[in-house]
Structure 1
Amino acid sequence: MVRRAAGVVVTGTTLSPAAARLGLLGKLMAVVRPEFRAEEFAFDPADPVFGGGVCLVPSCERTARGQGLCTGHHDRWAAEGRPDLDSFAAATDSRWHKQQPLLCCRAPGCGRGVCRGGLCTRHAAAWQRAERPDLIAWLPAQPETQPPAGLVICLVGDCRLWVEKDIPFCRGHGATWKSNGRPDPEQFARGYAEIEVVPRNERVRLQGLSAQLKLEIQYALQRRSDERTVKVQPFVVMQVVRFLTSCPVTSLLDWPEEIWRQRIGRPAPKDSNPRALLIFARRQLEDLADVGGGWDTEYGRDIWRMHLLGFEGRRRLRFDQIPQPWLREPAKRWARWRISTGLCLEASRRAIAAIERFGQFLASATVNVTGLAEVNRPLLERYLADLQAEMGGSQRQGSHIGLLNSFFTAIRQHRWDETLPTTALFFVQDQPKRAERPPRALAEQVMAQVEHSGNLDRWGNDDYRLITVILIRCGLRISDALRLRFDCITSDADRAPYLRYFNHKMKREALVPIDEDLLRLIGQQRHRVADRWPSRPSGPAWLFPRPTKNVDGQAPISSSTYRLALYRWLQACDIRDEHGQPVHFTPHQWRHTLGTRMINRDVPQEVVRRILDHDSSQMTGHYARLHDTTVRRHWEAARKVNVAGQAVTLDPDGPLAEAAWAKQRLGRATQALANGYCGLPVQKTCPHANACLTCPMFITTPEFLPQHHSHRQQVVQIITAAEARGQTRLVEMNQQVLVNLDNIITSLTDDNTAEEAAADAG
């Protein structure tokens, strides 16, 4: 029986208390709905999961699968050289190949089906005996064929050809009937008619499966229909069905998931859809079998299904790679405790990875530890050496040491195993020395290329373009940007717009101010999303829904999808660094770039912290260090001269560079002069009564030229007055000051003039 099934929206599987006490077969009988209980059925072309829309050809009711055409019309369109789709759809015959009447013999009066050359078997043999003359001249000379007595027309549908001897079908339909094993003629005729309406590749047939496997596949199709997240074509279902008929199992749960992954489609096919459907079906059965179990069910497993413990998605936490059962048990308790404190799943996964690495070390032939009682400080020192040999003092090595130490601390704190020695611990000195991480902000030369409107327009995808602009201007983490809600805009009392998002790292709502241009772009994105998913009564869920396999718009774009698109875009734009090399960076570096830019523009550090939603000022302090470097760069670039007008140079890369810069900063803060800076160490006492113009430690730059000119005028007046009064000593003291001022002014003026000339020439 063929049954058409339309998708029914169901939020989940609900079992009655009686059904929950039954075994898996009983649960399947209780939850599989009637529309999915047929052995053979087809789905409506408009079904959002199993359908694909109606064929573009008028009057054709089949499911469109390629270019908006059904399989038959798509093949015909390709055979005609792929003409314009609209013109083809309007001009072609709406009937599929098997709907069109079979060819009739060209001989006068003959109603039999064609065998070869446009003739039936009898007339083709006569033409052959006549030594195959010209057919157009031969046909009119043939006597008209009379219908046989008791003429019977072919049993199939609208076929009007004469039946062949001893069968109820014409020659063409009879050949098909024979090749199918001569089934019941009436049933074959009905099925053949249904094939014409619903092609074979659009039907699902489960007759070859055992009773429980049949129910399991029906349940998987029902769950796909209920979730409405991924499209499934019926021919993919049939690939799975044909594979299962050859497997010696009565249930998908007979084999673990890894075995199914290895068995189906080996060697691995290019199309992974059948494998994905099979794994989905098995996981759904696991959930049904353990429905309502929660921690009581999952804790005893070596692979935790985190969606049954309240986490989004189908993520899992694996303990099966920890070799020792005595180490695996406290690892589970530690993971459960960490999850109960609110830590994210990724943090738990990193912690289990650290224990897994430690367990593999303990299982090696040279160690061979058999229990926690043997884990002591000497053993951990050997493990430290093993980590160093593999990871070379990287940040990952420090993470492994810290997590393992926390694991030992939790065992003692909660008394999970009293045999763990008190010497099983790490010290602060065990952590590898971490070098100061280099700045991750992108160079302005790179940012100029990234922000160029022509390059942004090369995205070709409005979603990805807007995501890029938000990352650059707002400094969001990529996961937060991709999960912006559809209603992510809010405003304050002054109607100033803000972008509202959820900071997944800090687990809190956050706001960042935006400008009118970004507000306009987000408004346009909202309209595009609403037009694509207009059926949702509450509006779309996300500002950036996933473009494919997202029937209801319930899934946002994934981070990996955007990253791959970003790398293709960087390559297409040919963005290069200052050395002419192609640039490769991560989306998170835009966050560092925004923080650095704000610090360099003298935005207060607390304001930067709030905009980036850092949890502490220490996180923002990294950008403040970059600002300090920027000031130093400008200071080093300025020309500096001493009291003799001689240039003063400081090697920015020398071993004393940092000390010299620290001294200059302190000198600026505590000994700043009106016309320069003091280069004398702070702990020294200045022996010069003058304002440093006779001090050998004095350093000045062109920015103080106006003060030097004013000071020179005052010194000339003092010398003139002293000479008139005969004050020789006063003249001598100020004469040295005047000479130094002349040297300084001459040197700085010449250098400044040369720079201006070079700038004008540029």
Structure 2
Amino acid sequence: MSGNINYIQPTQPSSSQIKWSRIKYVEMQEELKGYWADDTWNPNENPLKGSNDIRGVYIYFEGLPNILKTEIKYACYQKIITKEWGWVTLHQAKATKINYLIKFLQNCENLVSSIIELEVKQWSELLTSYLIRNQIFSQREYEMITKEKKRKKYTAKDETIYTFGVLYQTIFDYYDDRDEYDKDIWDLRKLNFHLDNLVDKNKFDFTPIKQDWLRNSSKKFIKYKLALVSTSLCRFRLYALVQFSDFIEQQYSSVVPCQINRHLVLAFLSYLKSQNFTDQTHHKILTSLKDFLEICSREKWLDITGIQLFYQDDFPRYNRSRTPKYIPESVMEAINKNLEKIPERVDQRMYLILISCGMRISELCNLSMNCIKQDSSGDFFLQYYQTKMKKEITIPITREVTIIIQEQQQKTKEKYGQDVWFLFPSPRRKDRARGKQSFIKNINLLIVENNICDENGNLWHFHPHQCRHTVGTSMINNGVPHHIVQKYLGHDSPTMTQVYAHIYDQTLKKEIAKYHDIRVVNVAGEVVESTNPEIDNNLDLHILKKKVLAQSLPNGSCARPIILGECPHANACLTCGDFRTTIEFLEQHKTQLESTKKILKNAEEKDWQRHAEMNKRVKDNLEKILNTLESGNQ
């Protein structure tokens, strides 16, 4: 490859621009040891390869100036030790692109001594020119289904440019010693926020805010709001402030905080109208800006006049639909009928879990590998973290859903190893959750290709949140009490659940009384100790399980693991070690004991030894069960 890079005078760095540090550089060098310090990375000698008989591409660092060489090596090494890249990613997916970058940087020796001397945008422009000139520039096209049910093609960034951006950010972050809140791009993981790990969801980028005073006050505002509301709501607040910054840049470029007045707000109203936002988005942007200016004035972060800036009439009215957007039964049946046509089995499993459990898509994508628990009755529960409500939730799940999750656990471990955390990891990075976009795209492609329409003949457009509305509506329609639906969906207040229906007052006194004694007894009359006492001792969960899941036995339940297959003991539950029962079945056991005694007496009189032997075991076990249940009920 040929072509020298013409010198371009870099822009004057801003006051926050990070400088190269010799101390940091030396620390980088000291961290690169053994294989990672070599100038040639042989894929067959990489310590990550193990005994796998697979081929990879060599990476050659020769010819790079020492500082650039160390920085690129260090960035790649960091991706390895953080487990964002593995052997396959490094030597098969990235190696050729990294070699392109090295050739490119060899021509930049007279331009810079360190990667961070130019901003990433400048590097991108230079690298793009280089790749085009050497005929190795490549952009991948992919297809999505729009809300208008039309196929639309998008173009992805050249993979070499994308890889450089990732490495650049790693190097930049290493030289940057500032507090995370002082940076222009926050990594919420470093701020210890429990959030979803979807692509680009863990970063807050303040760089689009062009005015220093607005950017600095926006950081204070978002830091304050993060302690009070969800990260997704804070992300929209930041989006609204970017819109305000664009407006100021275009129409009031020299304005300072003390000049923010009603006249400027009126101009912003006109600006928003010209941007063709929906009334709902328009309303939310104004609400966010009003909140920002009021808090900045109250906390004295900005010198803003005390006069009223906003009035009720400023906010456009919009009809927020309170009708749940559930999936019609005919559409659901058609999707289920054609689900196996989706090439990715993982997308099939994701859909089946969503439509069964009613969780949000971000919660599904962020499920942990160990997300299912079993109680002493043999029933399964799903545990996951709700980022919107900032709490962990536990819900009962059917055995069919349990099988689906167990199948996904097995496939994930086979592909990513035993130490993987996510049930649905990203295809490229096992330390990240799988993104939602490919899932949504594949379900909508299935709908388009199979012409799945609603009752009016309109092609259905799928969105994951419809599954949540479907579950809520179905539970209400099947008579599940309002507060049980509220707990199952993890709603913070009854008002949120009322989206699905208006429910009459109901009581669960009988159910609560039954579960005051929630001890579980086996056929020997022994109390079964739980491996998950936090589940077995939770009264609410038992009521929830009773209302959501049907019990498999009329006098108890079976704790036989699903993976063992169907039960081999036909009609022999009271002599089976997998049988479990509780106080709520006391009367059934008393009735069955009297019946068994009569059968046993008849068998003994007629000398039916085998029949008598089996019924004697049943009688003995029933007496032990009754003994234990009644002793705890007195």
Using the size of structure 2 for normalisation, the TM-score is 0.65
Provide the secondary structure at the position in 2 that maps to 1:513. Answer: strand
Note the C-alpha offset of 1:566: 1.9
CA deviation profile, 1:637-684 (whole Å, cap 9, x unmatched): xxxxxxxxxxxxxxxxxxxxxxxxxxxxxxxxxxxxxxxxxxxxxxxx
State the match for 1:237 in structure 2: 98
The answer for the alignment partner of 1:278 in structure 2 is: 164
SS in 2 for 1:264: helix
Secondary structure in 1 matching 2:59: strand
Root-mean-square deviation (Å): 2.9
Confirm or deny: 8 A CA contact 1:380 1:424 kept in the other structure.
Answer: no
Length, aligned pairs only: 448
The offset of 1:333, in angstroms, is 1.7
Q: How does 1:360-379 map to 2 (within 5 A)?
A: 360-365=246-251, 367=252, 370-379=255-264
Q: Does 1:398 align with 2:300?
A: no
Question: Shift of the alpha carbon at 1:474?
Answer: 0.8
User: 2:443 touches 2:462 (CA, 8 Å); kept in 1?
Assistant: no
SS in 2 for 1:425: coil
Going from structure 1 to structure 2, the CA distance change for 1:47 and 1:625 (only over 3 Å counts) comes to farther
Which one scores higher on RCO, CA 8 angstroms, separation ≥ 6?
Answer: 2
Determine the structure 2 residue equivalent to 1:64: 55
Match in the other structure for 1:188: none
Q: Do residues 212 (structure 1) and 67 (structure 2) align?
A: yes
Residues 387, 40 of structure 1: alpha-carbon distance in 2 compared, 3 angstrom cutoff: closer
Structure 2: how far apart are the matches of 1:492 and 1:204? 52
**TM-superposition CA deviations, 1:570-600 (whole Å, max 9, x none):** 2343322223332212011111112122222
Measure, in 2, the Cα distance between the counterparts of 1:281 and 1:21: 18
Deviation, structure 1 residue 410: 0.9
Letter of the structure 1 residue corresponding to residue 259 of structure 2: E
Partner of 2:384: 501
Closer, same or farther: CA 331–225 of 1 in aligned 2, 3 Å: closer
Matched, 1:569 2:446: yes
Paired with 2:407 and 2:58, the residues of 1 have a C-alpha distance of 41
What's the CA shift for 1:48?
4.5
Structure 2: how far apart are the matches of 1:524 and 1:393? Answer: 42
Select which of 310, 317, 326 maps to 1:426.
310
Q: Name the stretch that deviates more: 507-516 or 517-526.
A: 517-526
Distance 1:327 1:530 in 2: 47
Whole-angstrom CA distance in 2 between matches of 1:456 and 1:478: 18
Cα displacement string for residues 162-196 of structure 1 (whole angstroms, at most 9, x for unaligned residues):
xxxxxxxxxxxxxxxxxxxxxxxxxxxxxxxxxxx
- Residue 250 of structure 1 pairs with residue 117 of structure 2: no
Residues 432 and 41 from structure 1, CA distance in 2 versus in 1: closer, same or farther, beyond 3 angstroms?
closer
Matched position secondary structure for 1:222: helix
Larger Rg: 1
Give me the whole-angstrom Cα distance separating, in 1, the residues matched to 2:442 and 2:271.
39
Please state whether the residue corresponding to 2:499 is helix, strand or coil.
helix
Superposition pairs of residues 500-519 of structure 1, within 5 angstroms: 500-519=383-402
Q: 1:33 is matched by which residue type in structure 2? A: K
Shift of 1:501: 1.2
CA distance in 1, matches of 2:127, 2:38: 25
Confirm or deny: 8 A CA contact 1:530 1:540 kept in the other structure: yes
Query: Retained in 2: the 8 A contact 1:41–1:203?
Result: yes
- Is the contact between residue 138 and residue 159 of structure 2 (CA under 8 Å) also seen in structure 1? no
In structure 2, C-alpha distance between the alignment counterparts of 1:557 and 1:226, rounded to whole Å: 20
Q: CA deviation at 1:32?
A: 1.7
In the alignment, the residues of structure 1 paired with residue 117 and residue 21 of structure 2 have an alpha-carbon distance, to the nearest angstrom, of 21
- Is 2:230–2:389's contact at 8 Å kept on the other side of the alignment? no
Could you tell me how far apart the structure 2 residues matched to 1:392 and 1:520 are?
44
190, 199, 203: which one aligns with 2:58: 203
Residue number in structure 1 paired with 2:209: 322
Equivalents in 2 of 1:344, 1:618: separation in Å? Answer: 19
Q: Secondary structure at the match of 1:317?
A: strand
Tell me, in whole angstroms, the C-alpha distance in 2 between the residues paired with 1:423 and 1:587. 44
Residues 1:556 and 2:456 are matched in the alignment: no
Q: Percent identity?
A: 23
Confirm or deny that 1:355 pairs with 2:241: yes
Shift of 1:475: 0.5
Tell me what 1:259 maps to: 122
Residue 241 of structure 1: how far off its partner (Å): 0.8
Deviation at 1:350, TM superposition (A): 1.6
- Return closer, same or farther for 1:32/1:424 CA change in 2, 3 Å cut-off: farther
Unaligned runs of 5+ in 1: 1-19, 55-62, 66-201, 628-762
SS at match of 2:353: helix
Quote the Cα distance in structure 1 between the aligned partners of 2:273 and 2:484. 40
Q: How far apart in 2 are the matches of 1:261 and 1:426? A: 42
- In the alignment, which residue of structure 2 is the partner of 1:644? none
Residues 509, 244 of structure 1: CA spacing in aligned structure 2 closer, same or farther, 3 A cutoff?
same
Gaps spanning 5+ residues in structure 2: where? 1-19, 141-157, 505-634
Q: Name the CA distance, whole Å, in 1 between partners of 2:367 and 2:124.
A: 35
Relative to the length of structure 1, the TM-score reads 0.55
Q: Distance in 1 between matches of 2:51 and 2:443?
A: 30
Could you tell me whether the CA contact under 8 Å between 1:52 and 1:64 is conserved in 2?
A: no
> Structure 1, residues 282-330: CA drift from partner, whole Å, max 9, x if none?
2221222125x433xx51x444444544456774333333333332222
Contact 2:97 2:160 in 1 (8 A): yes
Amino acid in the other structure paired with 2:212: P
Distance (Å, rounded) in 2 between the aligned partners of 1:221 and 1:386: 44
Deviation at 1:493, TM superposition (A): 5.0
Aligned match of 1:604: 481
Residue equivalent to 2:333: 448
